Amino acid sequence: MPELPEITNLARQMDKQLRGKRIVGVEVRQEKVLNLSLQDFTALVLNKTIGPVTAKGKWVFMKLEPDAYFLLSLGMGGEVLHHEPGEALPDKYRLRFDFPDGSALSINFWWFGYAHAVLAGELAIHKMTAALGPSPLDPDFSYEKFGRLLEGKRGGLKAFLMDQKNVAGIGNVYIQSILFRAKLHPNRGIPTLTEDERRRLYEAIRGSLKEATDLGGLRYERDLFNQIGRWDLELRQGHPCPRCGTPIEKMKTGSTSSVVCPACQKMTANHRGRP
C-alpha cells in the first residue's frame, strides 16, 4: 500500500513529466471510481492543462488549469504509469488520460481507489481530502506543530499516527520503522510520553519518511516509470533486531499487526494510555 514516500515521489515525477500537457482524451473503464457522473467528470478534465502536481498524505493533487483539480488515491495499491507515444498500454487499467503528443497516463487500482475531479473553488468541501491532517514532510511540520497535535490525546501511539485526520500519509509499513527508530511500543499511551520521547518520535517520523522518499519508496512499490523503490523494511519477524539482536516479534495491534523489538520497544504498566 503506497504511503507518503511513494505518493510524494509519484507526484514529483508526474509534476516533472506531465506539467503543461493538455488532456485531449479521457477513458474511464470503471465509473464507480469517480465522484461524479462520467459526463461531469469528463467536462472538468477534458481539454484542461496539467498544472502543479503535489502530494498530501496518500493523495495526489493534480491542478487542472485553469479551474479544477484531479484528486487520486490508490487505496490498497495500484499503478500510475506514463506511456511514451506508440508504447503499448497495459491490459488492465481503470482510467486513462491521453496527451496531444501521443503519450498517455494509465491508472490502475488493485482493489479500489478514487479518481475524483473537483472545481478549484470547491476543493475545500471535498470531504475525503479536506479532513486530512498535515503531511509530516511539509516544510511547516515543526516539532511545535507536532506537539500541538498530541495535546489532549489519550489513546495509543500507533492508532493516532495512522489516523489520516491527525497526520496524513503514514500507513502500516512506515509506522513500523518510525516506532522502532523512536524506541516506542505501538500501544504506548500518548499522555505517558516524555519530552525526550516526543522529540525522538518527531525525528523518527521525519527521518524515516524523508529517507524512504529519497530512495524512491519501498522496494515493493512501483513509480511512474514502472521502477521499484530502493527502501527496504528494517524489521522482519524472527530476524534479529538491527540494533540489539533480540528476535523481532509480530503482534496484533487493533485491526492491524506490528513487528516490534521486545527489548528496544518496551511497554510497561505505566505506559498504557487511557481509553
Site residues (vs Zn ion, CB under 5 A): 241, 243-244, 246, 261, 263-264
Q: How far is the CB of 243 from Zn ion (least distance, A)?
A: 5
Q: Using the minimum distance from each CB to Zn ion, give the nearer residue, 125 or 263.
A: 263
Q: Using the minimum distance from each CB to Zn ion, give the nearer residue, 18 or 235.
A: 235
Residue with cell 499522555: 191
Closest CB to Zn ion: residue number = 241
Q: Using the minimum distance from each CB to Zn ion, give the nearer residue, 96 or 158.
A: 158
Cell numbers that stand for 201 in this block: 518520535
Q: How far is the CB of 263 from Zn ion (least distance, A)?
A: 5
Q: How far is the CB of 212 from Zn ion (least distance, A)?
A: 20
Q: How far is the CB of 182 from Zn ion (least distance, A)?
A: 13
Q: How far is the CB of 197 from Zn ion (least distance, A)?
A: 16
Q: Using the minimum distance from each CB to Zn ion, give the nearer residue, 182 or 261.
A: 261
Quick check: 86 and 96 in contact, CB under 8 A? no
Q: How far is the CB of 246 from Zn ion (least distance, A)?
A: 5
For the chain, the first-to-last Cα distance in angstroms comes to 29
Q: b/e per residue, 43-66, with b = 16+ CB within 10 A?
A: ebbeebebbebbbbbbbbbbbbee
Q: Using the minimum distance from each CB to Zn ion, give the nearer residue, 126 or 183.
A: 183
Q: How far is the CB of 251 from Zn ion (least distance, A)?
A: 14
Cell numbers that stand for 63 in this block: 491542478
Quick check: 141 and 135 in contact, CB under 8 A? yes
